[in-house]
A and B are shown apart, each in its own frame.
Chain A
Amino acid sequence: MERSFKAEVDQLRLAEGQTFTGEGILAVTKALLQSGVAYVGGYQGAPVSHLMDVLADAHEVLDELGVHFEAAGNEAGAAAMLGASINYPLRGAVTWKSVVGTNVASDALSNLASVGVTGGALIIIGEDYGEGASIIQERSHSFAMKSQMWLLDPRPNLPSIVNMVGKGFELSEASNTPVMLELRIRACHVHGSFVCRDNLKPKFSKLNRIAKPIFDVERIPMPPSNYAQEKHKVEVRMPAALKFIREQKLNEFFTGELHDIGIILQGGLYNTLIRALQQFGLADAFGASKIPLYVLNVTYPLLPDEVAHFCSGKRAVLVVEEGQPAHLEEAINSILRRADINDPHVIGKDILPLAGEYTGEVVLGGVGRFLQLMLPDGVDQAGVAQVLDGITQAKQRAAELLGERVPLRPPGFCIGCPERPVFSALKLVDKEVGGIHISSDIGCHTFSTLPPFNLGNTVLGFGLSLAASSGVSASMGQRVVTVMGDGGFWHNGLSSGVTNAIFRNDDRVLIIMENGYTSATGTQNIPSTPGLTAQQGVSISIEGTLRGMGVKWLERVDNYAVGNVAEVLRRAMTTPETGLKVIIADGECMLERQRRLRPVNAARLADGGRVVRTRFGVDEDVCTGDRSCIRLSGCPSLTLKDNPDPLRTEPVTTVNNGCVGCGLCGEVAQAAALCPSFYRTEVIQNPGWTDRFMQGLRQWTIGRLSGDGRGQA
């Protein structure tokens, strides 16, 4: 795993009255234990990976409480775990990155929502939307609506979030319905503190097992129960939920002196809104606002009476709702119309953007326009204009002084990443054959679609790349190539892609990136992770699986041997062999590798053992600066520096100190016959006597014969 969570695990033991300090998502983890959760599952993905990572390290704490934790095979598997709460009073929580995880999970979620739950079922949604998001931009809100699960969107401070975890279980049980708790990226990673309660042992668990299973045909989503379930959902469970939300005051009202206007907002946007109000002088540092606020910590379902109460008597109400479609704004309009409250203008996505993250700037602009439009008494309009213009002017001034936009810096493959050389080879072969259709997947390897590789024609979902190439394969002039990570292989690729491709004897090429972990989410273990302990699981070989399934053409390549990878690719593209051709690109995630090797080498070095330190370099007087090497590799440590030769004006390519010695640059220079500039250096630390003897001999020879006087090698 990417990092150790020992300190965080210790915080999971905190008792009543003690203060937890740390990340939002870890606060949720502690809150789960305080709520008497019996089981926790999920599938890793930013921004909720840490919830799972810390539990994976917390065996002892979990064992003491009897809590079962499981990293599921995918989000569907995680969601299906909640089936435990259908018949039994077991509180359970699952987590994943949304909206993608919710997509995968939705089959199980629909069934779960339809039949309902006995024990509280909480789904922690890491809403990966806006800045830094790495997935399609959709909101999870729609899933809550279509399955009628309740959606919590608490104010993004640790006490509110933790409180909402507890209330979420209660709400779930009070209404027999699964509840979603939505946390945006920054709320997951916000650092704050809250006062703890003791952890609660679940009533039934590993420590106190259920004696007798419960059978109830009404809990089976099949005729005739399914019709009754739907009616039950809207006629019984929904009203029960509304009652709980109203009585427990889960939504919050904040009064303000400008009572003829108001703002309705998602709880998660509260802090951003307060900052905007502060900038206009309408709120103080502690959030006391001059404009009345109605903060929706529950964004689905809405309480019609609360909405009506807040809006009546107001000239205008601003709805601050992130994402589209504008479910809240539409619902509020509908509630007011039904209640025959027609005075307030409901303003929302007509002045705020329809799509995209509601950043500080967006909310500031929206509130500013609202104030300029409604002209409330007691608001300094000149001041509002000054704040808005100030930002515009600052941007204009910067644009004038800086000219062109500064270069973008999208994320890319790490230094030494074993996936990069595969794409170097793929780029070479792609050029030779005049273009290959490449079906890409989700994972670190999706970076291949960015410069300098620009490889990968479609991405359809995690583990779906092989399935996504089957339709196009029939109509392409060349064999299509599919790239899939080992994470995607186990998540979905094996069942929906590989199995069917073998079954149909499809003539396609599949490259599996076997780096050993789900690296993009923080190098969590997968079934094929090498060297698993018994506690971590039983290792399954991808190659063995594929051979067992009947794949005949299978080659394993060492990723860093670019020329060889290219050669195997050419063979796969041209072999007369029909059926699925699989190339397993074998290279352990470099981050993990370095993490493993660094302490080993440091220890050996300290013991006086012989350790060779390797790095690569570019001869500055041989490089002529055409950058072919960079375009074929894109390694971050392959960069530019001013030309030390005063007669040359262009920078030279150079390898900086970040180099981990993977050798890709040298391989590429050879495989593509680029130039003779690349070299590898090996420094022998703690040399033995043979090393020293040979060194002396070599130095003597080289010193005599080198081009420009006595030297030392």
Chain B
Amino acid sequence: MSAAMEPAALARPFTILVAALGGEGGGVLADWIIDAALHEGFPVQSTSIPGVSQRTGATTYYLELYPQRPATPMVKQPVMALLPSPGAIDLMAASELVEAGRAMQNAFVTADRTTLVASSHRIFATSEKVVPSDGRYASEKIISAAPQLARRAILFDMARLAQEAGTVINAVLFGAMSGSGALPLSREACEAAIRGAGKGAEASLRGFALGFSHASGELTMVAPPVAKPTIPTAPPVERVMKDFPAALHDLLNEAVRRLTEYQDVAYADQYLDRVHPLVAVEREIGGAESDFPLAREAARLMVLWMAYEDVIRVAELKTRASRFRRLRAEAGAKPGQPLVVVDYLKPGAEELADILPESLAAHLRAWVARRRLHGRATDFGLRLRSTSISGFLALRLLVLFKPWRRQAARFKMEQLAIERWLGAIKRFGLASLDRELVSEIIQCAALLRGYGDTQRRGRKAFEEVFETLLENESAAIKGLDKLTRAIRAIRSAALANPDAPPPALAVSGSGGKPVIWLKAG
């Protein structure tokens, strides 16, 4: 063959960086790409850093291929890098959204050449999960930045498609890379590579096809619901419709439904009695035009508060038919396959005291305190088979105590606390007309949640806010701003991660790099 037949040499190899998490089959994906490239007759190279069995850590696979078939056996071999260079990536693939964000931060996604193909689903990092309440990174930032930073960005939920296809995400990602048109390998070569790998090939090919058609635009990804689910339409309550602004109807109807189920109609009525003055307060401080956001937030927190989780409530929630249906679906139980549910409970004397009348509860609490002092247990571990007849009946028996709940010590304590909270909202709302302060007081309701230690810590913070600030004349005199800030400080301290991360791991702003196993960011 004459030299003239040789195609002009390319300036550089085609570069692919795959970001994945341990255990997602990134190595298999790299092998598929190699096989597909070899199938096409292209020189190809891949590298990875398996290191320790980091099943959950972030990892990358880097590939280079020279998308030209040598007409004669190649004398010169292209030199392929083992490490990705920023600004020099042609195809960036990420099996998870934050990994795509990490690639952007490291300039592995650049507008002049990078096609970004990434799954839009999230797998949360430990640092996001250990934070009480909500420590999740804001996904929207990555989703909106992607098209601005990449030459072309293709993002969709590949985890869902993988589940649909009954396969691992790597197959869908491979399909998406191929479907993006950026990968210089034919679809046939890619599919042949999957087929050649044998095990699970059929499912992988299904996943590949789904990824391909979504990335190529044949199929449009139905966007996953980003917004909060809307409140289901509960039966309209006459009093709600008549006495409350329309902006609150959905919430209050649902609240009435929930509290009636929790206790009775009178309890739901009491709730509306409590919401009513809040609406009046908000009118005074100018919330009527913006659909009463403060009253709505207070009403939302109050219904959760009034339906606090005592053992009766937990027993009720655990014996719902809808729960057993949900668990069957979650466990993937097929019709005809029996499902056993074992609940891990640790009922203690304190939970018992919560549903006893005050006098008895006081004795029990004193006993608990004495035993704690001597380091003795006041609770016992119970693994209850809620799907067995005896287990189920035991839980239903607890629910029968519902009518007596009104006499219970915890019930009375919560009602007093609610009144205290409402009183402060009204008092400061009308006196200060300061929306920020009122909002801060409202949020104090979120302190009282959970069980055990969390519950005790929150209640302590709640007491501190009321005793030292809201019910303390000298604190209010110092100015509304100061008061608002002081409440916020107590609240954030109570809701912060009780195990503060060690300093070396705290991600610093502009300062030194954190010392960590893997490269930061």
Contacts and interface: CB of A to CB of B under 8 A. Distances in A.
Given A401-B149, A414-B55, A275 B339 contact: no
B338 A705 contact: no
B45 interface: yes
A702 B324 contact: yes
A634 B66 contact: no
B505 A451 contact: yes
Interface stretch (B8-16, B287-295, B425-433, B460-468): B8-16
A619 B314 CA distance: 10
A639 B344 contact: no
B477 interface: no
A595 interface: no
B264 to A, nearest CB: 15
Contact of B501 (A189, A364, A444, A454): A454
A544 interface: no
Interface string B399-433: 10000000000000000000000000000000000
B52 interface: yes
A702 B387 contact: yes
Contacts of A131: 49, 83, 518-519
B435 interface: no
Nearest to B228: A646
B399 A707 contact: yes
A313 interface: no
A352 to B, nearest CB: 15
A275 B145 CA distance: 28
A679 B331 CA distance: 12
B132 A399 contact: no
B343 A640 contact: no
A47 B80 CA distance: 20
A414 B56 contact: yes
B323 interface: yes
B342 A189 contact: no
Contact of A272 (B49, B82, B232): B82
Contacts of B507: 404-405, 408
Contacts of A285: 9-13, 66, 78-79
B136 to A, nearest CB: 7
A640 B132 contact: no
Nearest to B87: A391
A38 B420 CA distance: 85
B520 A394 contact: no
A245 to B, nearest CB: 23
A682 B342 contact: yes
* Residue among A184, A613, A649 having the largest count of chain B Cβ atoms under 10 Å: A649
B338 A695 contact: yes
Interface in A398-412: 398-399, 401-412
B200 interface: no
A407 B77 contact: no
Contact of A279 (B59, B87, B138): B87
B144 interface: yes
Interface stretch (A75-83, A85-93, A375-383, A517-525): A517-525
Given A284-B11, A634-B126, A698-B388, A134 B149 contact: no
Given A408-B518, A408-B520, A682-B340, A624 B107 contact: no
**Chain B interface residue count: which class?**
35 or more
B432 to A, nearest CB: 25
A341 interface: no
A640 B134 CA distance: 9
Contacts of B505: 408, 450-451
A673 B348 contact: yes
* Residue among B107, B112, B229, B381 having the largest count of chain A Cβ atoms under 10 Å: B107
B355 interface: no
Contact of B339 (A591, A697, A713): A713
A630 B130 contact: yes
B34 interface: yes
A452 B499 contact: yes
Contacts of B52: 46, 134, 411, 444, 520-521
Contacts of B342: 679-682
B119 interface: no
Interface string B99-117: 1011011110111100000
Interface residues of A, number: 135
Contacts of B62: 186
B119 to A, nearest CB: 15
Contacts of A624: 309, 449-451, 454
A190 interface: yes
A516 interface: no
Nearest to A685: B337
A701 B84 contact: no
B236 interface: no
A474 to B, nearest CB: 26
B49 A613 contact: no
Nearest to A159: B77
Contacts of B106: 395
B49 A186 contact: yes
A676 B228 contact: no
B228 A642 contact: yes
B61 to A, nearest CB: 9
A185 B88 contact: no
B488 interface: no
Nearest to B507: A405
Given A646-B229, A647-B300, A709-B321, A391 B107 contact: yes
Given A47-B51, A185-B49, A712 B325 contact: yes
Given A190-B46, A285-B13, A444 B53 contact: yes
Contacts of A687: 336-338
A523 B55 CA distance: 13
A681 B47 contact: no
Contact of A402 (B45, B56, B141, B454): B141
A31 to B, nearest CB: 18
Interface string A678-703: 11111111010001101101100111
A649 B107 CA distance: 34
Interface string A616-656: 01010110111110110010101110101011111100000
Nearest to B133: A650
A711 B79 contact: no
A406 B47 contact: no
A402 B12 CA distance: 31
Given A630-B130, A680-B344, A713-B324, A364 B514 contact: no
Contact of B85 (A156, A364, A454): A364
A509 B383 CA distance: 32
Q: Which 5 A-B pairs have the closest CB atoms?
A: A711-B321, A411-B54, A360-B85, A411-B57, A132-B49
25 contacts: A184-B82, A186-B82, A189-B48, A274-B81, A275-B81, A361-B85, A394-B111, A397-B148, A402-B104, A402-B141, A405-B520, A407-B127, A411-B52, A411-B517, A523-B53, A613-B332, A615-B330, A617-B327, A625-B134, A636-B55, A639-B124, A702-B321, A706-B324, A707-B321, A711-B320
